[in-house]
Structure 1
C-alpha cells in the first residue's frame, strides 16, 4: 500500500492538531489527545497506509465495519501524534507491544497508551517509563453493579454501600476507568483483578508483583466532554496533563 495514499488523512490530522495548538508533552507532563473517529470514517482506507503489517492484519479480523474503522483511525491518529512528538513520519514510529499487550515505543524515552469506547478515542503520551489511559461512554453500556465484587476492594465496597443506589453506576464507572488506567500503566491489564488494588487519598498505587519493575503510579481523572468518563495514570513525577479535543476533519 503506497504511503501517498495517507496524504489526505495526514494533512487533515495535521490541520486539526494545529487548530487546537497541539504540543508534545514537556518533561514531567503528559498529554492526552481525544477525538471521535466517526467523522473521520471517510479516511479509513487511506489511514490504513500508516499502520504496520501487524495492525493491518488485526484490522481485517473485525467483523463490523464501524469497529474496523475505529481501530484503523485510532491507530493512524495515534501514529500521527506520536510522529509529531518523535519527529518521524507516522508509518516509521517504532510502535510495538509487549507480551502482555502494553504499547512500547522502542528505543525512545517516551511511553504511550490508547483507549477507545464506541467511536471515541484517547491517546496518551509522556516522557516517562509508562502511562495508561482509559475512557468509557457514560452512562455505561453494561450494568457495572453486577461487577462490583470484581472491581471493588473491601474498602471501596464499603464506600459504595454508603452511596444512594442512584449514584452507584456513575461511581463504579469512574472507579473502573481509574483502575483500568492503572492496570495499563503497570502493563498487566486485566490479568490482575481490579479488586486487588485499593485507591487511597493520594491516588498513588504500588504495582502488583506481576508488574515486575514498574514504578508506583498516580491516577488522575480526565476532564472530558459530556458523555465520557476517563482517567490516566503515570509515575508520580508526571504531575500535569494537557488535553486536546480534536474536531472533525476539514471539509
Structure 2
C-alpha cells in the first residue's frame, strides 16, 4: 500500500471507529440524525483527508488562507462523505454530493437530504430521508455583537421581545435565534438570499417556507442539546418523527466515544 493510500486508510479507520463507538446507524425513513464533533480530533490524519474530497472541495479548501479555517473544512467534508456513504450504502467515491445554484447541498438520484455547519473547529452534520433538512451550530458566546445586528435578522416583534433583556441574556437568546434562522434557511434551500428579518423562528415551532422558496414546505425548528460552549438548531419537515444526536469525542489514544440521544421533534 502506498503512503498516501495508507494515510487515507488510517483516517477511514479512525472515523469508522468513532462512528462505531457512537452506535451510529443510518436513520430510518421519517427520522433524521445529527453528528457533532471537534475536527481537531482528526488532526493526526489531516494530510490524508483531501483524497476523499472531490475536485471542487479540494479547490475550495486550498483557498482558505489559514490552517485554522482550512482543516475544519477538509475534515468536516471528509467525515461528511463517509457518513453519507454509510447512509446511501455506496462507496465514498460514489456519493453524489453536489451543490445547488444557491449553494445548498444536494444528493441527486436519492431520497436523502443533508446539511453541514461548522464554527471554528466544530462541525455538525445532519442527514435523513426527508424532503429537506438544515442544521447550524455556533460557538458560544458569539464573537459577533448580535445586539447591534438585531434589526438585520430579527422581526420587529422579536426586536421588541428581546431588546428589554439584560445584555448577557439577550446575546444568548439572539445566538439561539440566529442558529434557528440559519437552519431554517438551509432547510428551505434559500440560504441568505431570503431576509431572515422577515421570518419568525421561536424555538420548537412550525415555520412556513418564505415565498422565495418556491414551494409549500413547512418545517419544525428546534434547539439542539449541546454543551454550553456551543449553540445549535435543526430544521426538518413538520411531519418528521424524531432525531438522534451523536456526539463524537476522543477518549484516549485513537479510541472515540459518544453520547447519543433520541428526541421527539413533534411540536407540542
What is the TM-score normalised by the length of structure 2?
0.89
Q: Which moved more, 1:94-103 or 1:33-42?
A: 33-42
**Which residue is 1:122 aligned to?**
124
Match of 2:254 in 1: 250
8 A contact 1:111–1:127 mirrored in 2: yes
Match of 1:170 in 2: 172
1:71-220 counterparts in 2 under 5 A?
71-199=73-201, 203-213=205-215, 215-220=217-222
Q: Is the 8 A contact 2:155 2:197 kept in 1?
A: yes
Take 2:93 and 2:65, find their aligned partners in 1: how far apart are those partners? Answer: 25
**1:163 Cα shift?**
2.2
5+ unaligned residues in a row in structure 1: which ranges? none
How far 1:45 moved relative to its partner? 2.0
Tell me how far 1:57 sits from its aligned partner: 0.8
Please name the residue that 2:59 is paired with. 57
Range 170-179 or range 237-246, more displaced: 237-246
Cα 1:130–1:44, aligned 2, differ >3 Å: closer, same or farther? Answer: same
* Contact 1:5 1:49 survives alignment (8 Å): no
Deviating more after overlay: 205-214 vs 66-75: 205-214
Distance 1:18 1:214, change over 3 A: farther
Q: Deviations over 1:124-161 (max 9, x none)?
A: 00101110000000000111111000111111112113
When the two chains are superposed, the root-mean-square deviation of aligned CA atoms in Å is 1.7
Give the conservation status (yes or no) of the 8 Å contact 2:7–2:45: no
Q: What is the 5 A alignment of 1:1-80? A: 5-80=7-82
Unaligned runs of 5+ in 2: 256-268
Aligned residue pairs total 251
Which segment drifts farther, 195-204 or 139-148? 195-204
Q: Is the 8 A contact 1:134 1:181 kept in 2?
A: yes
DSSP 3-state at the match of 2:63? coil
- Runs of at least 4 residues of structure 1 off by over 4 A? 1-5
